[in-house]
Structure 1
């Protein structure tokens, strides 16, 4: 190794998970790539089979996206181990490590929101204070993600003042993501700690009552999907309150499993993020390399944690347990194919998308 290369490697700052080396990282990266590739195939299979049955569950696509991001992440780390002085590859690997897990944060918060909405539809309908607060929360996650991604590529900046400022931004972002990882636990706790009101019990709701099972090989039968007329006819005549799309109620399958899936993901995501946050705060104070800067910590807090969450969600069939009938285009297409009846109180063009009229029951959206 030349003197200049040795100086470059020696001058590198501390990094969570340490810098990749050929000896230790090839096997770990290959195993992670294979595991995430298998999960990517499973998630895409579930997504496509559901879409073919008019069951559109976008989180399955997001789970597939995480797997693809992690395949790129560990491919970049593998390339960085082979070419340790290539700063561009190292920066790319750092960016993907920082950005990927946020997908799971958002999905878990979304699932907890749907649990809260199912318990308290009168407090969580579209346009309610809770709904708007959650929208702002998702926007804030995107903002902090941008901060984290931008600051992930500046490990080699030579300006000390700039580095100090960036370090502060990263600390704030990581603390926020730790809170985000734990947020589903608080939302679920609030959902069941707050007593259900009479309005919650009588509020008009819609759920996918045609889902018959949550088993691993089950997929909704498109022949059981209600027609557009049947679906909208569930709204009582004269109802002025905004109907809420909710996940299936407890009598359609144990709600305890749904709660467990959210809390399990929240706990282990919080643990993994807390360790990464500790690494962000510890670099400036530690003289010797701390325990969280070893590569085994990185593989556990990123790869293992995310694999555990994805596997639990696939086995637990979140695509069925957290599905809400959002009247997406695929559902409308199948509903139209079952009959060309006009929706009640509406004039509908057969080839036009079925809009949800306010005069029928108010705005019908889902999050």
Structure 2
């Protein structure tokens, strides 16, 4: 008599249920993939490069592969290789959403506390290490899933422990954006934060509908490079639009609500990895409907929320812009004299340090001519 199969997250596939469910998920993610790519390409054509839109497209493509593997597993239930591939894609895809949500929350913190979050600061380096750790745990999860069917019971037990640690870490990663935005507003802004040189995409007109930035409204190279006050050697920070421009409550909701949804869904998957049961007595979180809710519905909901909420406008920073770099080159080549510009505290940015001496010479010549 064969031993009963262990319960697994998402249960074992059945033709009558999984074929229809997988096809619906593939269609939904395909529509979202097309939408994200349209937004990404349209913005890019207007000099507005928002990498997270490309990452959201990548998640949709990964999920199309995920449920295609589920379909293949349904029609070939005895193929262990297809089963492993399906499990790997189910485990790995959602990490993209974790990372993007942490990125958005980091940008909120940076906008509130530029004196603590500029490039090279302690906070910036901590976040960099945090992203590296997520990648490391993702590799652990993928490898452990791929070799989980090892015949040695001792090896399988050790691998199971690695998977549990990785899943717990991802649950914390899903919740981390809430902690970051809470810290951003719980920590009082210092005088350094209020006067720190920052720059945001002030040419973006609104943050809803099908609006795309008009490149004709982007500032010139001269407007980009305003001279920092003499003796100010602080590192300028590129930030998201301030709260009075982008409805702070909406921006925070676009971080907190997905974080709550992702944390719950990941916690359910984590619980599944900690409970050992037989298929016939499987707990509720190992049913296939739970898998479709925690994977497909959760990720589709988050992507739709971000698309409608226009995260590509609310969380955009000019530092990622190709047009920014082109204008920087123009400003450097033409040795733009920028010391006569009126500097706005909200739009103050770093000049080309290498051109400082030439700019001062030009200003000096103008004053002598006057």
Aligned to 1:201: 194
Q: Distance in 2 between matches of 1:56 and 1:144?
A: 29
Aligned: 1:102 with 2:102: no
8 Å contact kept, 1:207–1:245:
yes
Partner Cα separation in structure 2 for residue 145 and residue 269 of structure 1:
16
User: Residue deviations 1:130-189, cap 9 Å, x none?
Assistant: 111000000000000000011112342211001000000000000000001000000011
Deviates more, 1:327-336 or 1:80-89: 327-336
Task: Say if 1:104 and 1:359 are closer, same or farther in 2 by CA, change over 3 A.
Answer: same
Task: Tell me what 2:171 maps to.
Answer: 178
Distance in 1 (alpha carbons) for counterparts of 2:122 and 2:355: 23
Match of 1:317 among 291, 295, 310: 310
- Pick aligned residue for 1:210 from 200, 203, 208: 203
Q: 1:271 to 1:242 in 2, by over 3 A?
A: same
Shift of 1:22: 0.9
CA offset digits 1:96-129 (Å, max 9, x no partner): 1111000000000000000001111111111111
Deviation at 1:86, TM superposition (A): 1.2
Larger mean Cα displacement after TM superposition, 112-121 or 11-20: 11-20
Partner of 2:48 in structure 1?
A: 55
d(CA) in 2 for partners of 1:233 and 1:327?
A: 19
CA contact (8 A) 2:225 2:331 kept: no
1:226 to 211, 219, 228: 219
1:131 and 2:124 matched? yes
Give the TM-score normalised by the residue count of structure 2: 0.88
In structure 2, do the counterparts of structure 1 residues 56 and 356 end up closer, same or farther at CA, with 3 Å as the change threshold?
A: farther
> Deviation string for 1:202-255 (max 9, x for gaps)?
111000000001112100000111122220126445431111110000121211
Q: 1:78 and 1:287 mapped to 2: Cα distance?
A: 23
List alignment gaps of at least 5 residues for structure 1. Answer: 1-5, 346-354, 362-367
CA contact (8 A) 1:54 1:330 kept: yes
Secondary structure at 1:109's aligned position in 2? helix
Q: Distance in 1 between matches of 2:164 and 2:51?
A: 31
User: How has the CA–CA distance of structure 1 residues 80 and 327 changed in structure 2, closer, same or farther, with 3 Å as cutoff?
Assistant: closer
Structure 2 residue corresponding to 1:86, chosen from 79, 87, 93: 79
Contact kept in structure 1, 2:114 and 2:237, CA below 8 Å: yes
TM normalised by structure 1 equals 0.88
- What's the CA shift for 1:324? 0.4
Instruction: Indicate the residue corresponding to 2:319 in structure 1.
Output: 326
Could you tell me how far 1:344 is from its partner in structure 2?
A: 4.9
Cα distance change of structure 1 residues 42 and 236 upon mapping to structure 2, 3 Å threshold: farther
Structure 2, unaligned runs of 5 or more: 339-349, 357-370
Give the distance between the partners of 2:82 and 2:332, measured in 1 at CA: 55
Report the Cα offset of residue 268 of structure 1: 0.4
Cα RMSD, aligned residues only:
2.4
Q: What is the CA–CA distance in structure 2 between the aligned matches of 1:360 and 1:303, rounded to whole Å?
A: 52
Match of 1:160 in 2: 153
1:214–1:339 distance in 2 versus 1, CA, 3 Å:
farther
How far is the alpha carbon of 1:288 from its aligned partner? 1.9
**Pairs aligned (count):** 345
Distance across 1 between alignment mates of 2:261 and 2:320:
33
CA distance in 2, matches of 1:286, 1:22: 17
Deviation at 1:360, TM superposition (A): 7.2
For 1:326, what is the secondary structure of its paired residue?
A: helix
Q: Is the 8 A contact 2:222 2:331 kept in 1?
A: no
SS at 1:55 equivalent: coil
Q: Distance in 2 between matches of 1:337 and 1:37?
A: 40
Q: Who is 2:364 aligned against?
A: none
Question: What is the 5 A alignment of 1:241-260?
Answer: 241-260=234-253
Higher gyration radius (CA): 2
